Amino acid sequence: MVALRRAKYPGNADILSALDTMMNLRPAQAEILKYRHGRMAISAVPGSGKTFTLSLLAAELLASGRVNADLGQQVLVVTYLNSSVDTFRARIRRRLLELERPLHGFDVRTLHSLALEIVLTASSGASQGGDAPAVADEAQSNHFLARAVDGWIEANAELWHAFLPGDSPQTRARWRDVTERTARAFIRTAKNQRYRPAHILARLQGNLPEAASLREVEATPLLHMLAGVYDRYQAILSRQGALDFDDLIWQATDLLEQRPDLADTLRQRWPYVLEDEAQDSVLLQEMLLSALTGLDGNWVRVGDPNQAITSTFTAAHPRYFNAFIDRPDVLSRPLPNSGRCAPLIFNAANTVVQWVCDSHPVPEVRQHAFRRQEMLPTPPGDAQPNPPDSEANIYIRVYRHREEEELPAVAQLAFDYAQQQPEHTLAILAPTNDVGHALAEHLDALDADYDNLLRGSSREREVAAALHALLSLLADPLDTRALVAAHAALYELNHPVAAAELLQPPEIEQLHTLLRSVHSPERLLFPGEAAEPAQALPAGVASPEDVQRATRLAAFLRGLFDLRALPVDDLVLALGDELFARPAGNGHGAQDGLHEADLAIAYQIANVMRQWRDLQPEWRLPELVAELAGVAEGRRHLPMAGPADLGYEPQPGRITLATQHSAKGLEWDAVFLVGIDGFWIPGSLDAPFLGVHDFLGGDPAAEAAAQLRYLMEGDSGLYEGRTATESAHIEIMNERLRLLYVGITRARRALHLSRSRATRRYNKERDAEPATVLGVLYDYLRRTQQSASDDGR
C-alpha cells in the first residue's frame, strides 16, 4: 500500500504489481488483469474464482483510469440474480478500498434491470425519468400462461384430446402439465428468435409469401396449438399492460439496434461491459449486449461451458458462449486453477471430460457435451491449497433396487458420515426432486439434521404459511383467526415463544379455542398502562397456564407491529429472522440450529412480494397477504432461485439435500450422488430417458421448436441428419453428463456415487442399465488405486 500512496494515478503496471503482491494472484488471474480493451472470453473451471477475478478486473479498470468516473462513466457488470449483484458490489468496493480509490464508477445490474434501464433511457432521454413499463414476474407470467392454456383447451377440446394415447384422468392431468411446459418452452424459443404470434399464425395459414429458404412444410396440430396459446398469452399480457422478461429484453435489443443515438449514449456511459455466467446466456441476451457494446466495443464474458445445465428447459445454451470463445476477434483466456477439490476428485472430473470428448459412442455428444479443458491444482503457496489426496476418497456402490435399497442405504451412509465427521459439510444430490423427496422420508426416519433444498417440497409451503400467518395478523390485528394461525405457525416451527413446553393436542386446541374467543384482540395485543393482557381473555375460562401462554404470545406479537412501516420485502426478511434465525433447542433434531434453507426461502418470498408490489403499486399489505395465501396453500409455486443464489451456506455436521441442478455454486466436504444409472445418463439414442414423455415423439418441446424453426426459416436447426426427438435426446445426454461433472466437482474430500439395477417408475418395476460413464469412473478409480499401491511398494 505504501507505493500506492506516492502517486494519485499510478500506471497500469504499478496497479497490477500492487494487486499481485497483496493477493498472490495466480498466473492465469494476473494474465486476465492485463486486459486493456476489445473482446475477451474467460473460460473458467469450477472453483477457479471467476466472480472474484471479474471483480478484480472491474476495480483494475477503474484504478488505472481507463474509465473516467468523474465524467459519469462506469464499468458495467451484468449478472443473473439480485444476490449476485450484491456480491459483485461488495467485492468491487473492497478492492477499491484496498487500492485507495473512490468507491464509484461501476454499475452492477441483472440482465432484466439493464433492459429496463435501456427502455427508460430511450423513453425519456435520461435514465432518471420516464415511466417504467409494467413487467410481470415469473410467477405472474406462469399464471397468465396457465390461463392461456386453459382458454385454448376449452375452445379446442377435441383437438387437445386427440393428442392423448389414453383418456384416463391421470393421462389428462399429465398432458395438461406437459402442454403448459411445452408452451412455455415454445414461447421462449419464439421470443428469442423474435417471432411474434401473428407472424407465426399468418405463416401457418399461408398468408405470408414463402421465404426463399422455406421448403414445403406440413403444419401439425401441435404447432397450431402452441401458436394459439402464444397468441392468447400475449393478449393477456397486453390487457394487463405488462411485458414479460423476454419481451423486456426484446424491446431493449430492438431499441439499441434501431436507435444509434441511444446506443452511442449508453456506450459513453458504460465503456466496458463485463458479463458473468456467460455459459447460461440466451440468444436475446447475447444480441442485446452485442448491440450495446458495438462492433469495436469492450466486452468481457466469463463462464464455464462445462457447467451449462439449463439448456434442456430454458432458452439458454452453451453454444453461444462457445462460439464467442472461438471467434477470431476475441481474446481467449483460461481460468484453470481450482483449490476446491482434492486431485483425486478433480481428476475424476477431468477423466469424464476426456472420455466424452474422445470416446463417447454418439458423435454429437463427443463434439458438443464438453469444452476440452482441464481442472488444474492451485500453484504452491496459493491461499486456497487443494485438500491432499491422503484425505480424499471415491466410492462407487451398486444396489439391487433404488427405492428399496439404494435410497435408505445412502441416507444411512450420510447420517453416519455426519456423526463421524461433525466438522465436515456434506450433501446428498438427487437426480430429480421426486427422488429427493423419497430420500427426505428416510432422513426423517433417522431424525437426521438436514436442510431440504428441494423445489416443491412441503417446506416451501410451511415457510410461506408461517410468514402468511404473521403477515395476516399485521394486516388485520382484529382477526382472531389470524391470531390463532400465528400461534399455530410458531408452534409448528418450534419457536420458543410458542413451544417453550411440549403441548399435547388437546392443550393446543384448548388454547386456540381461547384465542378465538377473544372479543377485543386489541386489548390482548395493546393493553393500556394499567391493564393486563389476561383481562382480554374470557373470564373464568382460561387456566393459569393458558394465561401465561397467551401473555407470552401477545408480548412477542406486539413487538412485530413496530415492523409494519418497513417496505414489504424488508418486513418479510425481518419476520424470517424472527422465525428461523434462532435455535429452537427443544430436542427436535431435524429442526434445531440455524435454518439456512428456511431463511433462503424467506428471502425469495421477500423478493417475490416486492415484485408483486412493484407491479401493483396500489396494493397494500392486505392485498399482498391475500396473494401469498396461494403459495401457503400450495395453489401457486414460488419462482425459486438456486440455493447458492440465495446465499445458502452449508453447515458442518448437517446434511444438505438438493438436486444436482440446484447444487451449482455450492461445495461440500463430502457429496453423495445417487441414481447414476442408464435412465439418468443414457449411453445411446436407443436407451430410455428418465423425464422424457412417452408420446409426441418423446419430447414435445423439441418437436415444437424444430417445427417452428422449419416453418419460419426453412431449416430445423437440428443436428444434421437427426430428427427433432434425436436432437432432443442428444441435448439431454449432453446436459446429464455436464450435471455429473458439476456433481463431482462439488466434493472437496469424499465422493460417493451409487446406482441400482432396478427402479420403480409409475408403479412399474423396471431394470436399469448401468451408465457407461460410471464404468469409466470405476476404471479410473481402479487405475488410481493400482498406481497408489505400486508407489507404496
pLDDT at position 12: 43
Distance separating the N- and C-terminal Cα atoms of the chain: 51
Lowest mean pLDDT among 380-389, 469-478, 636-645, 744-753: 636-645
**Beta-bridge partners for 671:** 427, 751
**Cell 483466456 sits on residue:** 333
pLDDT at position 501: 67
pLDDT at position 207: 55
| Short-list 549, 651, 648, 565, CA closest to 600 | 648
The mean pLDDT of 93-115, rounded to a whole number, is 92
**Is residue 22 classed as helix, strand or coil in its secondary structure?**
helix
Better-predicted residue by pLDDT, 544 or 42: 42
Q: For residue 200, is pLDDT > 60?
A: yes
pTM tops 0.75, yes or no: yes
Better-predicted residue by pLDDT, 79 or 580: 79
DSSP state string for 705-752: HHHHHHHHHSS--SSTT--HHHHHHHHHHHHHHHHHHHHHTTEEEEEE
The mean pLDDT of 468-494, rounded to a whole number, is 87
Task: Dig out the grid coordinates for 582 from the structure.
Answer: 434462532
The mean pLDDT of 499-522, rounded to a whole number, is 80
pLDDT at position 15: 40
Confidence of residue 762 (pLDDT cuts 50, 70, 90): low
H or E segment at 777? helix 772-791
Confidence of residue 54 (pLDDT cuts 50, 70, 90): very high
CA geometry: angle at 384 spanning 381 and 385, to 5°?
60
Lowest mean pLDDT among 367-371, 445-449, 617-621: 617-621
The mean pLDDT of 224-237, rounded to a whole number, is 96
pLDDT at position 509: 86
pLDDT at position 40: 98
H or E segment at 427? strand 426-430
Query: What is the distance between the alpha carbons of residues 670 and 749, in angstroms, rounded to a whole number?
Result: 6
pLDDT at position 191: 95
pLDDT at position 130: 52
The mean pLDDT of 624-639, rounded to a whole number, is 73
Task: Dig out the grid coordinates for 274 from the structure.
Answer: 463485463
pLDDT at position 638: 64
pLDDT at position 639: 59
Q: How many CB atoms lie under 10 A from the CB of residue 435?
A: 23
pLDDT at position 582: 52
Express each pLDDT in 29-40 by its tens digit. Answer: 999 999 999 999
Q: Where are the extended beta strands (E) located within 242-347?
A: 242-243, 272-275, 298-303, 330-335
Q: How many CB atoms lie under 10 A from the CB of residue 247?
A: 19
pLDDT at position 335: 97
The separation between CA 613 and the C-alpha centre of its own chain, rounded to angstroms, equals 22
Lowest mean pLDDT among 337-351, 518-532, 731-745: 518-532
The mean pLDDT of 556-561, rounded to a whole number, is 89
Q: For residue 640, is pLDDT > 60?
A: no
CA geometry: angle at 303 spanning 299 and 306, to 5°?
145
% of the chain residues with pLDDT over 90 = 49
| Short-list 358, 245, 237, CA closest to 350 | 358
DSSP state string for 649-689: ---TT-EEEEETGGGTT--EEEEEE---BTTTS-SSTTS--
pLDDT at position 699: 65
pLDDT at position 527: 78
Lowest mean pLDDT among 548-562, 702-716, 745-759: 702-716
Query: What is the distance between the alpha carbons of residues 62 and 73, in angstroms, rounded to a whole number?
Result: 10
Is residue 387 within 8 Å of residue 748, measured between CB atoms?
A: yes
The mean pLDDT of 66-84, rounded to a whole number, is 88
Average pLDDT, the chain: 84
Calculate the dihedral angle through the C-alpha atoms of 80, 83, 86, 91, rounding to the nearest 10 degrees: -80
The mean pLDDT of 560-565, rounded to a whole number, is 88
Is residue 271 within 8 Å of residue 67, measured between CB atoms?
A: yes
Q: For residue 80, is pLDDT > 90?
A: no
Calculate the dihedral angle through the C-alpha atoms of 224, 228, 234, 236, rounding to the nearest 10 degrees: -170
- Alpha-carbon separation of residue 87 from 23, 83, 132 (angstroms): 19, 6, 26
The one-letter amino acid code at 412 reads: Q
The mean pLDDT of 496-511, rounded to a whole number, is 76
Question: How many Cα atoms sit within 13 Å of 401 on the Cβ side?
Answer: 8
**Beta-bridge partners for 760:** 765
Q: For residue 120, is pLDDT > 50?
A: yes
The mean pLDDT of 267-286, rounded to a whole number, is 94
Confidence of residue 17 (pLDDT cuts 50, 70, 90): very low
The mean pLDDT of 649-675, rounded to a whole number, is 93
pLDDT at position 214: 37
pLDDT at position 643: 61
Q: For residue 4, is pLDDT > 60?
A: no
Confidence of residue 170 (pLDDT cuts 50, 70, 90): low
**Beta-bridge partners for 75:** 106, 272
The mean pLDDT of 440-467, rounded to a whole number, is 83
Better-predicted residue by pLDDT, 716 or 790: 790
- Alpha-carbon separation of residue 356 from 297, 371, 470, 504, 775 (angstroms): 36, 10, 53, 58, 12
Query: What is the distance between the alpha carbons of residues 414 and 412, in angstroms, rounded to a whole number?
Result: 5
The separation between CA 500 and the C-alpha centre of its own chain, rounded to angstroms, equals 36
The one-letter amino acid code at 424 reads: H
H or E segment at 451? strand 450-452
% of the chain residues with pLDDT over 70 = 84
Which residue blocks in 6-110 are alpha helix, DSSP H?
Answer: 12-23, 27-32, 50-63, 82-98
pLDDT at position 153: 92
The mean pLDDT of 104-128, rounded to a whole number, is 84
